[in-house]
């Protein structure tokens, strides 16, 4: 079991602007208003190493909005332990993690618009993140 799977069992995510996949791959992310997706994927990092220094550097997450993908699972958006935090995620039908993104300064994500396999998650402070739900690293078309 990967570190992110262990955290997700308790509905926790690391307090770091990052994209995490269930297979254990993690990437730094940053808001990027020039990108069609609203964010950019930066360098990979080792989550185990990051949390080794401070295992308590996690936030409990709670969903505020969900979109049912039928037998393909769910999209989920919500908040972290602190008011400024937000997260978005894709889950399996039994709510196991496929991928999740956490943002320390986005505010909670409370709206999801889905068109085909492209989803736009909107936060209470107006941040919008648009992803290919099959792989958030896949660039989204400029016109959405």
3 state DSSP class of 38: coil
Confidence category of residue 40, pLDDT binned at 50, 70, 90? very high
What is the pLDDT, as a whole number, of residue 43? Answer: 97
- For the chain, the distance separating the N- and C-terminal CA atoms, rounded to the nearest angstrom, is 36
CA–centroid distance for 101 within its chain: 2
More confident: 109 or 70 = 109
Work out the mean pLDDT of the chain and round it to a whole number: 95
Q: What order of strands is seen across the sheet that includes strand 26-31?
A: 39-45, 26-31, 18-21, 97-103, 86-91, 74-79, 62-68
Mind listing the pLDDT tens digit for each residue in 131-142? Answer: 999 999 998 877
The CA radius of gyration of the chain, in Å to the nearest whole number, is: 14
What is the pLDDT, as a whole number, of residue 143? Answer: 64
Running DSSP on this structure, what letter comes out for residue 141?
P
Mind listing the pLDDT tens digit for each residue in 48-105? Answer: 999 998 899 999 999 999 999 999 999 999 999 998 999 999 999 999 999 999 999 9
How far apart are alpha carbons 137 and 131 in whole angstroms?
8
pTM of the predicted protein model: 0.95
Running DSSP on this structure, what letter comes out for residue 3?
H
């Amino acid at each position: 079991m990967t570190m992110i799977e262990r955290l997700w069992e308790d509905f926790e995510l690391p307090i770091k602007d990052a994209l995490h996949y269930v297979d254990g791959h993690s990437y730094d992310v940053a808001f990027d208003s020039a990108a069609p997706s609203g964010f950019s994927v930066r360098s990979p990092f080792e989550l185990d190493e990051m949390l080794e220094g401070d295992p308590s550097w996690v936030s409990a997450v709670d969903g505020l909005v969900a979109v049912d993908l039928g037998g393909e699972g769910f999209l989920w958006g919500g908040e972290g332990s602190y008011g400024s935090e937000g997260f978005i995620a894709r889950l399996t039908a039994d709510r196991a993690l496929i991928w999740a993104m956490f943002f320390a300064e986005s505010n909670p994500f409370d709206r999801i618009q889905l068109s085909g396999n492209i989803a736009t998650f909107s936060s209470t402070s107006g941040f919008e993140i648009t992803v290919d739900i099959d792989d958030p690293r896949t660039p989204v078309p400029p016109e959405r």
